[in-house]
């Protein structure tokens, strides 16, 4: 817990009553050591719920997405922003990777970035991106070393994903429900092994990796159906995904169990063995532990080690 129960009650009261002064006299803009990814489990946390924010330092998730956008009513947005800043300011270093999901740039997101710059979240996630210009606009506002993340949920961003190359962007999030709506495709297609969904997942994964960006798969909304959620995690892991959005702690546990199943020992062994043999001029050989090892196998091991590094 970041604050005691009495303080949490006071924070929630200030949020509910729109008491800006409560926050402004407690906020102390300062530099904070920014953490770097990658991550596997990313849990959505409502910025207008003090009890939820107060558990940031106890989460099992690799990353916490402090949400200012969908799910936060307009009347709470300003207070949610102030509350997010207060909790980021007071959060201990052991908290997960802290990402703030702002509102669209033209709906207050630009001023939210400017305000949050003083409190150094680990990343800012920009929704409703449509073009490289949107990413550049956010980047121009965002101070270093805060990372820039983006939601891919519009038809323009999805179709031109391969063109959204920007040196500041470290993660893309697939907002599949908004994307389907924007494309005019019914959400009933969102089923495992549906060819349309397979194309969306593959397109998103491949273009993200080609740009050197972490692809974070979509949030599964039915948080009570853990069986199907686990099926999705296994399906996506087989496709090559290593990160997924979550809306409940139980979903986080499943993601951590399935999508973080990187075989680090195997990768380290292959890396060291290949480099030993390559020094002798041999780049393809039969290994008694892992069978045939050549340069593509070696590169896969390097990718695994890179993706597991924090």
Domain boundaries, the chain: 5-261, 266-308
DSSP string, 52-97: HHTTGGG--SSEEEEE-STTS-GGGHHHHHHHHHHHHHH--TTS-E
pTM of the model: 0.87
Phi first, then psi: what are they for 285, rounded to 5°?
Answer: -160, 160
Assess contact for 161 and 204: CB atoms under 8 A. Answer: yes
- CATH number attached to the domain at 5-261: 3.20.20.60
- Asked if omega into 145 is within 30° of 0 (cis), the reply is yes
Q: Which among 113, 106, 105, 103 has a CA at the least distance from the CA of 74?
A: 103
* Dihedral, 244, 212, 135, 182 alpha carbons, nearest 10: -50
Phi first, then psi: what are they for 97, rounded to 5°?
Answer: -55, 120
Tokens (6 digits) for 125: 């996630």
- Provide the pLDDT for residue 310: 41
- Provide the pLDDT for residue 156: 98
- Provide the pLDDT for residue 262: 52
Instruction: Report d(CA 65, CA 67) in Å as an integer.
Output: 6
Greatest extent of the chain over all pairs of C-alpha atoms, in Å: 71
- Asked if omega into 38 is within 30° of 0 (cis), the reply is yes
Assess contact for 203 and 179: CB atoms under 8 A. Answer: no
- pLDDT tens for each residue of the chain, 310 residues long: 999 999 999 999 999 999 999 999 999 988 788 988 779 999 999 999 999 999 999 999 999 999 999 889 999 999 999 999 999 999 998 899 999 999 999 999 999 999 999 999 999 999 999 999 999 999 999 999 999 999 999 999 999 999 999 999 999 999 999 999 999 999 999 999 999 999 999 999 999 999 999 999 999 999 999 999 999 999 999 998 999 999 999 999 999 999 875 556 678 889 999 999 999 999 999 988 888 999 999 998 888 777 655 4
């Amino acid at each position: 817990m970041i604050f005691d129960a009495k303080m949490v009650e006071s924070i929630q009261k200030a949020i509910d009553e729109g008491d800006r002064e409560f926050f402004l006299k407690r906020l102390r803009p300062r530099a904070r050591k920014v953490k770097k990814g990658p991550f596997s489990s990313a849990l959505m946390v409502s910025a207008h719920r003090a009890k939820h924010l107060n558990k940031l330092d106890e989460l099992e998730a690799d990353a916490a997405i402090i949400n200012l956008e969908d799910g936060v009513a307009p009347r709470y947005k300003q207070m949610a922003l102030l509350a997010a800043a207060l909790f980021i300011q007071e959060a201990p270093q052991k908290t997960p990777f802290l990402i703030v999901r702002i509102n669209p740039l033209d709906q207050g997101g630009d001023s939210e970035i400017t305000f949050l710059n003083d409190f150094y979240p680990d990343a800012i996630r920009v929704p409703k991106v449509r073009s490289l210009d949107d990413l550049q606009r956010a980047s121009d506002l965002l101070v270093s070393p805060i990372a820039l993340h983006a939601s891919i949920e519009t038809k323009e961003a999805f179709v031109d994903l391969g063109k959204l190359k920007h040196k500041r962007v470290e993660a893309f999030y697939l907002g599949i429900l908004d994307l389907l709506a924007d494309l005019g495709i019914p959400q009933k297609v969102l089923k495992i092994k549906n060819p349309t969904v397979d194309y969306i997942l593959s397109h998103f994964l491949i273009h993200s990796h080609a740009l050197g960006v972490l692809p974070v798969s979509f949030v599964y909304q039915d948080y009570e159906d853990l069986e199907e959620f686990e099926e999705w995690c296994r399906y996506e892991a087989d496709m090559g995904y290593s990160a997924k959005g979550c809306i409940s702690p139980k979903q986080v546990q499943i993601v951590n169990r399935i999508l973080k199943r990187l075989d680090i020992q195997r990768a380290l062994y292959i890396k060291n063995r290949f480099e030993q043999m390559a020094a002798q001029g041999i780049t393809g050989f039969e290994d008694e532990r892992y069978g045939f090892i050549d340069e593509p196998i070696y590169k896969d091991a390097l990718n695994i080690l890179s993706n597991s590094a924090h």
